[in-house]
Amino acid sequence: MVSDTLFSGSRWDFLRPKTIPDTLANWLFDSGSLTAKLKALNPDFEVEVLRHANGRIYHDEVALLEKDVPCQVREVILRSAGLPVVFARSVIPNADDASLNALNSIGNQPLGEALFSRSDVTHGPIAVTQFSAQSNMASFNEELLGSRQALWGRRRKFEITDNPVLVTEVFLSSAPCYKEPA
């Protein structure tokens, strides 16, 4: 399973870094559904669930959720044409709320579809970070894809009936955001 230190050393920022290429920025700061964007490029899309269970959350996740409560942690790989393109980690508080309970039982269905199809979901601002080629995330990418490079990720808090859901998405080296448009 994914290590508890996968995001260690990451610094999340809500502002666009000056050095980021436009192609990459268009993916990182797109306010729409990443699932929909990936499916539009290639309908051969699937979600591989690595873990979905009660789990420990990171200190920065507690701060963003603004509460330290037991949570479900869902870690998945989004695949396009069979290739891993995104690692996603979602933190969903355990609450006596049918909306949140429904998210905890989606199996290998995309969380993005569940979040973006609802009218009662508030979308927070997007924060981004870059993981260096020496980071644990780059190591994870190397295990999956055989290449080690700097990677970019984004994080966003959603609110469903006053309950926060935190979604972190890391674009793996095979993600289309690193390719220049033709």
Confirm whether residue 159 is marked as ligand binding.
no
Confirm whether residue 66 is marked as ligand binding.
no
Find the helix or strand (DSSP H, E) in which 80 lies. Answer: strand 71-80
Confirm whether residue 142 is marked as ligand binding.
no
Kindly state the greatest CA–CA separation across the chain: 49
3-state class (DSSP) for residue 24? helix
Find the helix or strand (DSSP H, E) in which 65 lies. Answer: helix 59-65
List of residues 6+ apart from 159 with CB closer than 8 A: 121, 122, 124, 165
Residues belonging to the binding site are 74, 111, 169
Provide the annotated binding site for substrate.
Answer: 74, 111, 169
